[in-house]
Amino acid sequence: MPGEGSNWAGVDLSRHERLVEELAGRLEPVRRLPAPEARAALWLGATLGVGLILAAWNGTGGFMLRMHVPDLAFAAIGAVLTAIAAAFAAFATSVPGRSSRWALLPLPPLVLWIGASGLGCLREWIAPGADIPGAHAVSGCFSFLICVSVPLSVLIVVMLRRACPLRPNLTAALGGLAVAAAAAALLMPVHPHDATATDLLIHAAAVTLVIAANGLAGGRLLGRQVGTG
Amino acid sequence: MILAVPGGMAARSWALASGSDHGVDTALAGGRNDGGARMALEQELAALMAAAQGGDAAAYRALLKACLPVVSAIARTQGVRGEAVDDVVQDALMTVHRARASYDPARPFMPWLRAITQRRAIDRLRHAGRRPREVNDPLAYEAEVDPGPAPGQGLEARDRAAALARAVAALPDGQRQAVEHLGLRELSLDETAALTGRSKGALKVNLHRALKALRASLTQERE
């Protein structure tokens, strides 16, 4: 009968007993991690703090004006929702036993964000003569996105590492998406231009860079840490 | 504080590891109330893990020991075989240790443990898959033996032994004694003659007839 005797299907018991004793011997009390929802909210709160500082610094007049343009407003809403959904999905997938289907959560807002940004390009064709950013402004946007992304990435990786992401690459990519969407949302109040094709390309490049960097570095950072803890 | 694994926990752990395999569940839970047993074990394990998060080493030891058969069963379900099962168990226990802060006692324990074990089993299978192997060897593939116990192993042997015992018991006294002493206990003719008080010639005749009768009755039974 399995379980009755001392040998379960050829399991090497003495080796496992030794490990059990060792792990029990070095057991220390741990502080239970808050629920993924709460931890995602914490990270989003920090992001919102950065946004408020930027808004106080730059003023929101131009931003409010641009929000009257439907596609810009939809792009902003899409970016914000993507950041929220991706952050929640990243924290949910970092906890064992939660379904990895949470990773699908950010897809609908992502479609809204990308779709609305794409519409902005179309508008540039339909209504030429809109405010096209020069090369200097474009590189400014790019460095803004990267500069905002780095601290947000570091924060989310540190927070995700505290849990146990069993699929580190998936979790890291979701974290990267959350960071990229948050950075794009934070750029909107400071962004002095309408969306254009160049602008969208720069956005796409920065967003891809952030997601890829998080996926590559984060996958390793969040990866197997067996035996270290 | 909980000091030891409650009796029968290991056996019930097996039922849990099998997931939706009701055959195993009913076999181990006595055919009744296996849902209740499952719930009780879930709660026990969740309580042990909550105590372990608080630093209770005895509860932690009991929890890990209860997890051993579950983890190895899940690993086998994932397709891990042989010594690799032990490696998965070790990896999974270490991950449980590292990830213990991420367990929320308000949620069931088994999905948490299963997720960890499945991931470690997949890691192990991928690792094994990266090593070069001969893949085009149909004979070796056919002849591959699972070293673990086959389902129902021992049942067949027990059935055979029971059938033989029934057939031997049905023999006339003289023949039965001849089979028992000469055939099963492997005594010599002299020893058997001294023991039963029969002549060696009679014993030989009895053994011969008994084997013939057994052959007939066992063949008949098999048909």
The answer to whether B4 contacts chain A (CB < 8 Å) is no
Q: Note the residue count of chain B.
A: 223
Per-residue pLDDT tens over the stretch A7-23: 444 556 688 888 998 89
Residue at token pair 């059935």: B159
Task: Give the burial class of A64: count Cβ atoms within 10 A of its Cβ; 0-12 exposed, 13-18 middle, 19 or more buried.
Answer: exposed
Does this model's pTM top 0.90? no
The answer to whether A30 contacts chain B (CB < 8 Å) is yes
Which of A84-88, A93-97, B20-24 is the least confident region?
B20-24
- A9 and B148: CB-CB below 8 Å? yes
- A3 and B10: CB-CB below 8 Å? yes
Which of A74-83, B28-37, B206-215 is the least confident region?
B28-37
pLDDT: which is higher, A53 or B141 = A53
pLDDT at B19 over 50: no
Side-chain half-sphere of B120: how many Cα atoms within 13 Å?
A: 29
- B86 and A226: CB-CB below 8 Å? no
Which of A17, A29, A162 is nearest residue B55 as measured by Cβ atoms?
A29
The answer to whether B97 contacts chain A (CB < 8 Å) is yes
Per-residue pLDDT tens over the stretch A120-133: 666 666 655 555 55
Residue at token pair 């879930």: B42
pLDDT: which is higher, A219 or B155 = B155
Residue B132: the pLDDT is: 63
Q: How confident is the model at residue B145 (pLDDT cuts 50, 70, 90)?
A: confident
pLDDT: which is higher, B70 or B156 = B70
C-beta separation of A149 from A224 below 8 A: no
Task: Give the minimum alpha-carbon distance from A51 to chain B in angstroms, rounded to a whole number.
Answer: 30
Contacts of A100 in chain B (CB under 8 A): none
Q: Which residues are CB-contacts of A33 (< 8 A; sequence separation ≥ 6)?
A: A39, A95, A162, A163, B101, B102, B104
Contacts of B149 in chain A (CB under 8 A): 9-10
Instruction: Give the residue from A53, A58, A45, A2 showing the smallest Cα distance to A190.
Output: A58
The answer to whether A6 contacts chain B (CB < 8 Å) is no
The answer to whether A161 contacts chain B (CB < 8 Å) is no
The answer to whether A166 contacts chain B (CB < 8 Å) is yes
E-only strand ranges, B159-221: none
- What tokens does A90 get? 């990243």
The answer to whether A5 contacts chain B (CB < 8 Å) is no
Task: Give the minimum alpha-carbon distance from A39 to chain B in angstroms, rounded to a whole number.
Answer: 12
pLDDT: which is higher, A40 or A157 = A40
The span from the CA of A89 to the CA of A104, in Å, is: 8
- A23 and B64: CB-CB below 8 Å? yes
Which of A11, A24, A228 is nearest residue B68 as measured by Cβ atoms?
A11
Name the DSSP letter for residue A164: -
pLDDT at A106 over 90: yes
- B72 and A9: CB-CB below 8 Å? yes
The answer to whether A224 contacts chain B (CB < 8 Å) is yes
The span from the CA of B202 to the CA of B160, in Å, is: 29
The answer to whether B68 contacts chain A (CB < 8 Å) is yes
Per-residue pLDDT tens over the stretch B43-69: 888 999 999 999 899 999 999 998 988
- B95 and A24: CB-CB below 8 Å? no
The answer to whether B42 contacts chain A (CB < 8 Å) is no
Side-chain half-sphere of A52: how many Cα atoms within 13 Å?
A: 6
Q: How confident is the model at residue A43 (pLDDT cuts 50, 70, 90)?
A: very high
- A2 and B69: CB-CB below 8 Å? yes
Residue B28: the pLDDT is: 34
Per-residue pLDDT tens over the stretch B169-178: 889 988 998 9
Note the Cα B150 to chain centre separation in Å.
Answer: 8
The answer to whether A129 contacts chain B (CB < 8 Å) is no
Considering only alpha carbons, which residue of chain B is nearest residue A18?
B90
C-beta separation of A7 from A1 below 8 A: no
The span from the CA of A165 to the CA of A159, in Å, is: 11
pLDDT: which is higher, A218 or A197 = A218
Per-residue pLDDT tens over the stretch A170-200: 888 898 889 888 988 888 777 655 555 556 6
Percent of chain A with pLDDT over 70: 72
Residue A132: the pLDDT is: 53
Q: How confident is the model at residue A209 (pLDDT cuts 50, 70, 90)?
A: confident
The span from the CA of A174 to the CA of A94, in Å, is: 10
Chain mean pLDDT for chain B: 79
